[in-house]
Chain A
Amino acid sequence: QLQLQESGPGLVKPSEALSLTCTVSGGSVSSSTYYWGWIRQPPGKGLEWIGSIDYSGYTYYNPSLKSRVTISVDTSKNQFSLKLSSVAAADTAVYYCARTTMDLSYYYYMDVWGKGTTVTVSS
């Protein structure tokens, strides 16, 4: 059964970069069937999609974060990663990784999520 696990520092200083990794077990990030993505939820707010990547490294990002986001995939480690630069207090959130798959009509949906990891931006 596919499982996703987020990992990374729980505390990041303002203006520095946030780096998180999602380790995939029970499946392969190299599969052409899926996309792999990051979503976050600031305290007391709704979920926000950050971006996604496919097995070949093709990425697409939320326009509001695009200038600061880099998502990459490491097939040798079966992981994908998020880097968010120049963070501020507003980037404090629970960060989730998730797999995206598609149905028979080619509509996509996120079917498996990680439990999330809390990142606080503070000096």
Chain B
Amino acid sequence: SYVLTQPPSVSVAPGQTARITCGGNNIGRKSVHWYQQKAGQAPVLVVYDDSDRPSGIPERFSGSNSGNTATLTISRVEAGDEADYYCQVWDSSSDHYVFGSGTKVTVL
């Protein structure tokens, strides 16, 4: 089955840029979605189809996808961005949905 690999943690100072990677075999050929999950809350979709933002999501959240790595970039990081972030794809070969292992973003 398709596997998505994320770094367990990323630390970033306020105002700086956080980059969260999501690795998968030829992931650049798939549409990648990203979720933010704050402690005790349901996940929130922050980026879909690699780089599109749902209504209400700040422009500070952006995404890219190429080769074997997709990346969620959070610019001008704020304390409120501290959360777990998950990538997700639909694996067309198996027709299954897959989530990444998750990355905890800590704002220093």
A and B associate: no
Binding site for A on B (CB under 8 A): none
Binding site for B on A (CB under 8 A): none
